[in-house]
Amino acid sequence: MPEAFSESACGPAPYRTMQPSDSMPDTVAAKLSVQELSAWYGEKQVLIRVSLDIPERQVTAIIGPSGCGKSTLIRCFNRMHELVPAAKHRGSIQLDGEDIYANGVDPVLIRRRIGMVFQKPNPFPMMSIRDNVLAGLRLTSTRRADTDAIVERALQQAALWSEVKDRLGEPGTGLSGGQQQRLCIARALAVEPDVLLMDEPCSALDPIATTRIEDLLTTLRERYTIIIVTHNMQQAARVSQKTAFLLQGELVEFTETDALFTKPKDKRTEDYVTGKFG
Amino acid sequence: MSVVDPPRNSSRISGRPPSRALERAFRGLCLFAALLPVLVLAVLLFDVVRTGLGRIDVQFLTSFPSRRPQTAGILAGAVGSVWLVGLTAAIAVPVGVGTAVYLEEYARRGRLATLIEINISNLAGVPSIIYGLLGLELFVRALSMGRSLLAGALTLALLVLPIIIMATREALRTVPLALREAGLALGATQWQVVRQVVLPMAVPGVLTGSILAISRAIGEAAPLVVLGALTYVDFLPDGVTSPFSALPIQIFNWTSRPQAGFAVNAAAGIIVLMVTLLMLNGAAIITRNRMQKRLGR
Ligand SMILES: Nc1ncnc2c1ncn2[C@@H]1O[C@H](COP(=O)(O)OP(=O)(O)O)[C@@H](O)[C@H]1O
Ligand SMILES: [Mg+2]
């Protein structure tokens, strides 16, 4: 890691120069602002002073080779990282200008504002499709009168409604892999979060199911700030407006997706996006 | 690789074949070892059934103990056992499940957790008669519960607690991390996830463990003898403070009588106990399979 540091110390580090206002439309504000974030598992450091501003209502992709710290990074965003025994972090993350790691901030409340979709679809096996969508409300004992409307809205948003509307009582695990993943998206949306984190949501899915989820992201970004981890660069190029390239725990480059893939500033980004490694 | 016979050829399929006869002999030995206990049990069971089956009738099931074997029955013992086991389960299941949840879901790997764990595995190995002594000192005398159902049930609860704890922990461990994370990521607290996601999925395992524990409690005589369960009871328990008898105690008492008629009674009592146990175990297996199917596993 020391070489990487000295390298970015010589030239202007690409991410340091990024300001929220830089080359962004006026309407876009930073939803999540990450400053100098480092993270460890025990003694092992897996994120090294990562700083980036995630724009509101856009899709931000995080790419990088396996093990570079992508999952760790987004798990810091919803305070899931701290659930791992011996996990540590330093630095700050602000959601709408509010430090989510400040004293007295309840991680549970942060997670209701920042939803998460996992790599492998993980619907609750003993719950019906309907109950899965409502799981966030049920688990937190949130009483709502309009549950039917919530279920329909969330499933509509996840583009699953037409496929399951006649069998809402059936178990969620009976659906196909792609449908299960959209059910998990609906489950996350039913809690009405602001931000949706997706950790390689398509890596367990076939190409058709993948396309459906990618299409879905385009409509979801009108209402939600989406951060998607992917090791598939084509996917990042297709769905995201901005892309961050992470390498061995370090943020190498973070810029407009088009720019990152067509004229990367950093040699390592270029090597990665042209397939020289990864 | 043997030192005496270094392999000349790197290929494993060439060379002298391993001794088939030795393998066959070993397999035979293993089969014999597996069959032996089953065989012994079958002989014992056959003997018991032959002696006792004819004795089981309405009179036997509904009579109190008597000096004459023909008029004696298991009513007091059977009803006492039902009370005892019900109470034991009511005490041991909540405490056992609670302990398991604490150890699996909350305890950091620290001194306290290690201490509790060591104690539980030690408890599982303690002879049941020791529990009887403990119960006698602690519940009957120190806590002045007397020779009551409650003292008996508390003693048996201690005895079966390790079974329930271990079965529950096993069941909790099979719940995938992905589901716990799914719940937490939705903004649920850990307790909400444990109660509504993890525990429901662990129910089959908890149930199996509980029924195994209950079967163990039903069959125990030694701790109850020490505790002072009665052998001659001509009333039914009317509450947890009542003195009591239990089926194994009744059987134990009959086997120690000289008259041949009581040996027949004992055999009949054993059959009743055995059938109850088999039914309980059968129920445990059926429930577990049903629930596992429902959980899609
Ligand atoms: N729970 C954990 N305990 C210890 N090390 C971990 C844990 N999770 C991930 N790591 C390590 O942290 C590094 C980054 O992992 P991760 O964030 O999962 O990378 P990515 O998602 O980019 O593949 C890897 O070297 C991985 O081995
Ligand atoms: Mg990952």
In this structure, the residue with its CA closest to atom 10 of ligand 1 is A41
B171 within domain boundaries: yes
Q: Is A230 in the pocket of ligand 1 (CB under 6 A)?
A: no
Q: Is A60 in the pocket of ligand 1 (CB under 6 A)?
A: no
* Any A CB within 8 A of B259 CB: no
Residues 6+ apart with CB under 8 A from A257: A61, A236, A237, A240, A241, A242, A243
Q: Are strands A30-41 and A87-95 parallel, antiparallel or unpaired?
A: antiparallel
Residue of A nearest to B178 (CA): A122
Q: For A28, how many CA atoms within 13 A lie in the half-sphere containing its CB?
A: 23
B297 within domain boundaries: no
B115 within domain boundaries: yes
* Any B CB within 8 A of A116 CB: yes
B283 within domain boundaries: no
B230 within domain boundaries: yes
Pocket test for ligand 1, best of A72, A197, A198, A232 (most atoms within 8 A of CB): A72
Nearest to B85 by CA among B222, B247, B266, B242: B247
- CA pair distance B26, A230, nearest whole angstrom: 55
Tokens 């403070």 identify what position?
A: B241
Helix (H, G, I), strand (E, B) or coil at A255: strand
Tens of each residue's pLDDT in chain A, 278 residues? 344 443 333 434 444 444 444 444 444 568 999 999 999 999 999 999 999 999 999 999 999 999 999 999 999 999 999 999 899 999 999 999 999 999 999 999 999 999 999 999 999 998 999 999 999 999 998 888 899 999 999 999 999 999 999 999 999 999 999 999 999 999 999 999 999 999 999 998 889 989 999 999 999 999 999 999 998 999 999 999 999 999 999 999 999 999 999 999 999 999 999 988 77
Q: Decide if B185 and A140 are in contact by the 8 Å CB cutoff.
A: no
Whole-number pLDDT of residue A23: 47
Provide φ and ψ at A21, rounded to 5°. Answer: -85, -15
Tens of each residue's pLDDT in chain B, 297 residues? 444 555 555 556 666 666 788 889 999 999 999 999 999 999 999 999 998 888 888 888 888 888 888 888 888 888 889 999 999 999 999 999 999 999 998 887 778 888 888 888 888 888 999 998 988 988 888 898 888 899 999 999 999 999 999 999 999 999 999 999 999 999 999 999 999 999 999 988 898 899 889 989 998 888 888 888 887 887 788 888 888 888 999 899 888 888 888 888 899 999 999 999 899 888 888 887 887 776 655
**ipTM higher than threshold 0.85:** yes
Cβ pair A53, A255 in contact under 8 A: no
* Any A CB within 8 A of B192 CB: yes
- The CATH code of the domain that includes B181 is 1.10.3720.10
Q: For B4, how many CA atoms within 13 A lie in the half-sphere containing its CB?
A: 0
Cβ pair B149, B236 in contact under 8 A: no
Show the domain range for B204. 77-244
B161 within domain boundaries: yes
Nearest to A260 by CA among A12, A11, A15: A15
Amino acid residing at A242: K
Say how many domains are in chain B.
1
Nearest to B186 by CA among A107, A99, A68: A107
The percentage of residues in chain B with a pLDDT greater than 70, rounded to a whole number, is 93
Nearest to A121 by CA among B159, B178, B70: B178
B133 within domain boundaries: yes
Six token digits for residue A189 = 């949306």
Q: Decide if A140 and B200 are in contact by the 8 Å CB cutoff.
A: no
Nearest to B213 by CA among B252, B169, B175, B158: B158
- CA pair distance B292, A211, nearest whole angstrom: 34
Six token digits for residue B186 = 């939705």
Nearest to A60 by CA among A248, A276, A256: A256
Q: Kindly report the number of other CB atoms within 10 A of residue A153's CB atom.
A: 17
B186, B191, B197, B198: best to mutate for the A interface, most A CBs within 10 A:
B186
Residue A72 Cα to ligand 1 middle (Å): 6
In this structure, the residue with its CA closest to atom 18 of ligand 1 is A71
What is the pTM (predicted TM-score) of this model?
A: 0.80
B259 within domain boundaries: no
Six token digits for residue B4 = 């005496």
Nearest to A125 by CA among B175, B191, B184: B175
Length of chain B: 297
